Amino acid sequence: MKKIYAGIDIGTDSVKIIVLEKIKGEFHLLASSKVKSRGIKRSEVVDVRELSNSVKMAVDEIEGKLDIKLKKIVACVSTKNCIFNIVSGKRDVIDPNCITGEDISEVFRDAIMGQVNQDYELVTAMPITFKIDGNLNVKDPKGRCGKVLETKLVITETPKEQLYKFLAVLDLCGLEVVDIAFGTTGDYFAVRNDSLDNQVGAIINIGEDTTNVSVYNKGIMIKNSVINVGSYYVDHDLSYIYNISMEDARDLKENFVIAASRYADANDKIELKTTGGTKYNVTQLDVSKVVEARIEEILKVSKKEIKNLTNRKISYIIVVGGLSEIAGFSYVLDSVFGNLAYVYNNNKIGIRNNSYTSVFGLLKYFDNKLTLRDTECNMFELEDLKKIITVKSRNDSVLNRMLGSFLQNKEDKV
């Protein structure tokens, strides 16, 4: 079965949907869409109808690109008011000669049974370790021999009320949610490597109006905090100080500002138009100082929050989110955290923007979850799969022709 997954991340700023295919251990982008979101504030649904319209626009864009009907999806959910718990389970193995994914699923059920709070829903169950016959600690027991399988899990839960509002939006759009996970879980799986899986660290995701600070121990999120400040406040500062529209402020931030003002040009000027219609010039240095001050504040508050969340030694700090795309951001990050921190740069063709980090990692998490349980998920009908393959082949042919033309031109010049 082809491993093709669709994921959605609904943020205050935008709705992102991507479709990935896993081939020989690598994930390849088939389609992506990003549209402005309405009806959501601070990660909470405030208008179901309005938000569903935004989601439908993103869905329509994906369906147009792949010529299919998007019916099933994996969704990012907010960590707001989430809770953590460590639980244990124990089950007899079905066939002592070979532990299977079914055994893993059964021991997970035993661990989770009766542990989820009444007003909450389970979001993730991340295994800390497995034991076989009480003594052998392994990360993945599949294929091993043993009579009794035990596990210790970190489970996360989210309030039912806020989750059900979110699911109602997707239901209105005709989308069946096959799984959910926190966007912060997606963040980790996007940046994940063998080294991080053995360390304690933190990931800071700077969103539109909130910043998520999450602490991870050996790849498992153990603490999380949501700070009510984000990239919107950078736009607001520029809008207020220079009396320009929020749209112009955003454009100024994304296309003119240097986050580290010491690298800004005092002679480089841009013309601004106030909300009253007056035009005047400002220098790159002046506007960069405004933005730098707010970014420093966000990072310093995040740094303090990490200390509040854990007293463990932090080995890494990774920053994701659209604001980290601003030129010079890494220099401000270094001034606050030193060389302990760095910006994650998503180099996946088609989604080379850090605003896609959560949904990209979400699908990697989902695939990892299926692999551990030795199961599969068919998210697309057979006829749709044929259409996706056709579109992919057509796009590959175009790319090959472009590459061939480029190489030919290069040879001609030589």
Q: What is the pLDDT of residue 1?
A: 67
For residue 368, give the 3-state DSSP assignment. helix
pTM for the full model? 0.90
- In this structure, the answer to whether residues 246 and 110 fall within a common structural domain is no
- In this structure, the answer to whether residues 363 and 319 fall within a common structural domain is no
* CATH number where 14 lies: 3.30.420
pLDDT at 173 over 70: yes
Contact 45, 170 (CB under 8 A): no
- In this structure, the answer to whether residues 223 and 331 fall within a common structural domain is yes
- In this structure, the answer to whether residues 64 and 122 fall within a common structural domain is no
User: Total structural domains in the chain?
Assistant: 3
Q: What is the pLDDT of residue 349?
A: 74
13 is in which domain, residue-wise?
Answer: 1-71+346-414
* CATH number where 138 lies: 3.30.1490.110
Q: How far apart are CA 149 and CA 88, in angstroms?
A: 11
- In this structure, the answer to whether residues 340 and 353 fall within a common structural domain is no
Length of the chain, in residues? 414
- In this structure, the answer to whether residues 338 and 358 fall within a common structural domain is no
In a domain, 367, yes or no: yes
Q: How far apart are CA 356 and CA 40, in angstroms?
A: 18
Query: What's the whole-number mean pLDDT along residues 41-58?
Result: 93
In a domain, 56, yes or no: yes
Q: What is the pLDDT of residue 335?
A: 97
In a domain, 76, yes or no: no
- In this structure, the answer to whether residues 225 and 149 fall within a common structural domain is no
In a domain, 148, yes or no: yes
- In this structure, the answer to whether residues 137 and 259 fall within a common structural domain is no
> Which pair of tokens denotes residue 279?
């035009």
In a domain, 77, yes or no: no
For the four alpha carbons of 309, 188, 324 and 332, in that order, the dihedral sign comes to positive
pLDDT-above-90 percentage for the chain: 83
Residue where a domain stops, chosen among 294, 324, 344 = 344
pLDDT-above-70 percentage for the chain: 93
Query: What's the whole-number mean pLDDT along residues 228-256?
Result: 96
* CATH number where 288 lies: 3.30.420.40
Half-sphere exposure of 396 (CA within 13 A, CB side): 9
- In this structure, the answer to whether residues 371 and 407 fall within a common structural domain is yes
In a domain, 48, yes or no: yes
- In this structure, the answer to whether residues 153 and 33 fall within a common structural domain is no
Q: How far apart are CA 335 and CA 275, in angstroms?
A: 35
In a domain, 180, yes or no: no
In a domain, 169, yes or no: no
> Which pair of tokens denotes residue 245?
């529209």
Structure confidence by residue, pLDDT tens digits, 185-203:
999 999 999 999 999 999 9
- In this structure, the answer to whether residues 215 and 305 fall within a common structural domain is yes
